[in-house]
């Protein structure tokens, strides 16, 4: 297929796209400040936008001065760090100090006097009405000033969190937070008797209710961590509510604007309950794109690139295929564009990839609907919390010294969740993630799920367990790596788990096979090294298939065979070659870039 024919095919496909999402083209954003000449060079490379740092007070560079070279170069921008002092209070830049110095000081003070719970008051509290109004006013003022320029999005904060990123900490026990928590508990439990029954407490009035700190919960001998786990849940809820407040303020000032956060950590602690986070903002720059995209397909997702090695280029393609719509470039050493405005070596290494993802192929993928198979993986924050306690309890007060880096390390519940995702996608299937609340609300039936995977789900609510039992009774397959539901949804150990052994099959990720999942992929992919992930998109009557290998340092190419359900017209959209009308197609993959095929009936 000649270039003109290839462009005609892509143009026809794009023209048939469903209504565009927030960004109908892939956005590439330069983070560091650059002058007009440098920005012009970046624009030629495919960069579409740059960064304007919000002016929160009398200090800092006025926004007009920052975006003047962007206007001159014909680039857009987004507004960065509007409310970092509220959303990232314990992880933000101060001159001459480590970025997390406030958190380190809070740790030291608490280690010296762990009986003083006033040391566990977050400053500022997410529920402080004065701070809430301050943030609303600031956001609405900035959005009103910027609205005419249509920024890509407004960043509420960078590297946000309850404490320092995803570090586990017992914020916020301040009076205002506890009062709001009691209201939330009353909504969830209904009666004080129900709460006392779950927590094993004897409160006589709601205003007496106090959760357990981590230190207190670790001293329990009955494995009932409910009074601690509910507090950790509340802080995730409080964080999400605070973000939603910021998003609502942005929308009030400009209904079409997007709010976002950056530096989003892996699922875990410190506010990183993705089932809440993905509905609190419009845009997220972070790590676990498949989970976020599955839980909220309308979310605008970005990732960050720090270099242009083959592995980084592989990740850029992978991010696009997993639902990403943008990329932030970190270039503190002028390796993309030099100070004399000439293109640097890193910029040259990006060029071919940027041309493709900014061109018709990227636009086609963004305008297509991802296919999802009837296979679901349960995302269980309750299990994450419970496993953290079981892991750290034997170490006693050592948790007080853990930092955010320690919390992104190994965790059985999170690691097995990712391992199952990898195993399922390598079978040619595209699973959905379901959060616990979604299962409780009937998502297994509504979505026509046929196989449910429970990755290290050691905590299950009674409603979740009931939905899973009903699902299995109707013929659904349930796969787990450990017996699920030893704890309830509040992290209280059960005498008898809610699920009996006849409901599920123990099958670890490494043992997963297609016949065990019981769902056939829309097309079969035969890869000699079993190292291929298939991404299928629907675009009207056309199927768009992107096949990418796992990245490996070795540069050996691999021939992969696709078997279609019936003969179809196949075109290679990247090379422009027609592969004819076939039922079996062979494509050759390198270790970096995907093959992208259109399959038309």
Average pLDDT of 379-390? Answer: 96
Q: DSSP string spanning 95-115?
A: TTS-TTHHHHHHHHHHHH-TT
Confidence (pLDDT) at 10: 41
pLDDT of 553 > 80? The answer is no
**E strands in 530-590:** 532-539, 542-549, 558-572, 577-589
Grouping H, G, I as helix, E, B as strand and the rest as coil, residue 63 is helix
Assign 13 a pLDDT band (cuts: 50, 70, 90): very low
Tokens of 187: 């909504």
Number of separate helices (H) and strands (E) present in the chain:
22, 22
3-state helix, strand, coil in the chain (%, to 5): 40, 20, 40
Average pLDDT over residues 538-543: 92
**Do 380 and 490 contact (CB within 8 A), yes or no?**
no
Residue written as token pair 């050996």: 556
Tokens 């209710």 belong to residue: 209
d(CA 56, CA 89): 14
Is the pTM higher than 0.85? The answer reads: yes
User: What pLDDT, on a 0 to 100 scale, did the predictor assign at position 543?
Assistant: 95
For 151-173, write each residue's pLDDT tens digit.
999 999 999 999 999 999 999 99
* CA distance readout (Å), 45 to 28, 347, 560: 10, 7, 32
pLDDT confidence of residue 408: 87
In the chain, % of residues over pLDDT 90: 90
Q: Which residues pair with residue 343 across a beta bridge? A: 337
**CATH 2.60.40.1180 domain locations along the chain:** 524-600
pLDDT for 578-588, tens place per residue? 999 999 999 99
**Residue 315: pLDDT above 70?**
yes
Confidence band, pLDDT 50/70/90 cuts, at residue 22: low
CATH number of this structure's domain 524-600: 2.60.40.1180
* CB within 8 Å of 57: residues ≥ 6 apart: none
Strand locations in 27-128 (E) = 27-30, 49-53, 76-80
Average pLDDT on 214-225 reads 97
Query: Taking 60 as the threshold, does the pLDDT of residue 192 lie above it?
Result: yes
Calpha distance 390→455 (Å, rounded) = 17
| pLDDT mean over 427-453 | 97
**How do residues 66-97 score in pLDDT, each as one tens digit?**
999 999 999 999 999 999 999 999 999 889 99
Structure token pair of residue 54: 């919000």
DSSP string, 168-189: ------SHHHHHHHHHHHHHHH
Name the most confidently modeled range: 234-248, 523-537, 539-553.
234-248
Is the per-residue pLDDT at 411 higher than 90?
Answer: no
Between strands 76-80 and 49-53, the pairing is parallel
Task: Tell me 553's DSSP state.
Answer: S
Does pLDDT of 480 surpass 80?
A: yes
Using 50, 70 and 90 to split pLDDT, how confident is the model at 258? very high
**pLDDT at residue 176 in the model:** 98
What is the percentage of the chain residues whose pLDDT exceeds 70?
96
Strands 487-488 and 459-460 come out as: parallel
Whole-number pLDDT of residue 60: 78
Decide if pLDDT at 1 tops 90. no
Mind giving me the DSSP string for 387-401?
HHHHHHGGGGGGGGG
Residue 545 has pLDDT above 90, yes or no: yes
CATH 3.20.20.80 boundaries in the chain = 26-369
In this predicted structure, what is the pLDDT of residue 287?
Answer: 86
Most confident of 286-290, 366-370, 410-414: 366-370
Q: What is the CATH number of domain 26-369?
A: 3.20.20.80
CA distance linking residue 15 with residue 178, whole number of Å: 54
> Cβ of 164: how many Cβ atoms within 10 Å?
27
Check: CB of residue 574 under 8 Å from CB of residue 598: no
> How would residue 552 be classed by pLDDT, with cut points 50, 70 and 90?
confident
What's the alpha-carbon Rg for the chain, to the nearest Å?
25
Mean pLDDT calculated for residue range 24-50: 97
Residues of the chain with CATH 3.40.50.880: 375-517
What contacts 164, CB < 8 A, 6 or more positions away?
90, 91, 100, 103, 270, 403, 404
Identify the three-state secondary structure at position 28.
Answer: strand
CATH of domain 375-517: 3.40.50.880
Number of C-beta neighbours around residue 86 at 10 A: 23
> Taken in order 135, 137, 143, 146, is the CA torsion positive or negative?
negative
Rounded average pLDDT over 131-149: 97
User: Can you tell me the distance from the alpha carbon of 136 to that of 170, in angstroms, rounded to the nearest whole number?
Assistant: 26
The mean predicted confidence, pLDDT, of the chain is: 94
Q: What is the mean pLDDT of residues 178-184?
A: 98
Q: How far apart are CA 23 and CA 37, in angstroms?
A: 26
């Amino acid at each position: 297929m000649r270039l003109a024919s290839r462009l005609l095919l892509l143009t026809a496909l794009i023209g048939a796209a469903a209504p565009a999402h927030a960004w109908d083209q892939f956005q590439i954003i330069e983070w560091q400040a650059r002058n007009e000449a440098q920005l012009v060079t970046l624009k030629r490379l495919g960069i579409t936008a740059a960064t304007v740092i919000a002016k929160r007070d009398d200090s800092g560079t006025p926004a007009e001065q920052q975006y003047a070279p962007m206007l001159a170069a014909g680039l857009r921008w987004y507004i960065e760090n509007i409310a970092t002092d509220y959303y990232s209070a314990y992880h933000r830049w101060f001159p001459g100090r480590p970025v997390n110095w406030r958190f380190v000081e809070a740790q030291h003070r608490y280690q010296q006097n762990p009986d003083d719970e006033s040391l566990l008051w977050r400053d500022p509290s997410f529920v402080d009405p004065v701070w809430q109004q301050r943030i609303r006013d600031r956001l609405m003022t900035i959005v009103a000033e910027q609205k005419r320029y249509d920024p890509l999005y407004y960043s509420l904060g960078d590297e946000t969190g309850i404490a320092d990123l995803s570090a586990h900490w017992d914020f916020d026990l301040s009076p205002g937070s506890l009062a709001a928590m009691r209201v939330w508990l009353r909504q969830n439990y209904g009666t004080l008797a129900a709460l006392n029954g779950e927590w094993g407490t004897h409160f006589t009035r709601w205003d007496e209710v106090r959760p357990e700190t981590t230190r207190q919960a670790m001293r329990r001998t009955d494995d009932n961590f409910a009074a601690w786990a509910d507090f950790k849940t509340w802080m995730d809820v409080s964080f999400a509510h605070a973000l939603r407040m910021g998003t609502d303020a942005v929308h009030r000032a400009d209904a079409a604007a997007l709010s976002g956060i950056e530096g989003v950590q892996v699922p875990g602690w410190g506010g990183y309950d993705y089932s809440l986070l993905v509905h609190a903002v419009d845009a997220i720059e972070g790590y676990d794109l498949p989970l976020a995209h599955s839980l909220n397909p309308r979310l605008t997702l970005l990732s960050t690139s720090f270099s242009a090695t083959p592995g980084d280029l592989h990740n850029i393609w992978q991010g696009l295929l997993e639902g990403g719509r943008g990329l932030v470039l970190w270039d503190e050493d002028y390796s993309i564009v030099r100070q004399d405005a000439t293109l640097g070596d890193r910029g040259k290494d990006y060029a071919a990839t940027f041309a493709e993802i900014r061109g018709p192929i990227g636009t086609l993928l963004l305008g297509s609907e991802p296919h999802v198979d009837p296979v679901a993986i349960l995302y269980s924050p309750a299990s994450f919390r419970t496993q953290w306690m079981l892991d750290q309890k034997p170490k006693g007060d050592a948790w007080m010294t853990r930092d955010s880096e320690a919390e992104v390390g190994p965790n059985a519940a999170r690691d097995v969740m990712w391992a199952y995702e990898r195993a399922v996608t390598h079978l040619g299937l595209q699973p959905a993630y379901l959060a616990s609340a979604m299962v409780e609300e009937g998502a297994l039936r509504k979505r026509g799920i046929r196989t449910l995977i429970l990755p290290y789900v050691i905590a299950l609510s009674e409603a979740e367990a009931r939905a899973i039992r009903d699902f299995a009774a109707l013929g659904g397959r349930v796969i787990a790596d450990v017996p699920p539901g030893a704890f309830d949804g509040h992290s209280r150990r059960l005498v008898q788990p809610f699920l009996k052994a006849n409901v599920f099959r123990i099958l670890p990720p490494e043992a997963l096979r297609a016949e065990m999942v019981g769902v056939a992929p829309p097309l079969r992919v035969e890869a000699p090294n079993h190292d291929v992930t298939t991404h299928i998109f629907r675009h009207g009557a056309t199927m768009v298939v992107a096949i990418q290998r796992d990245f490996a340092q070795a540069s050996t190419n691999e021939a992969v065979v696709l078997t279609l359900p019936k003969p179809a017209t196949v075109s290679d959209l990247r090379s422009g070659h027609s592969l004819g009308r076939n039922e079996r197609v062979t494509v050759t993959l390198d270790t970096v870039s995907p093959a992208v095929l259109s399959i038309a009936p």
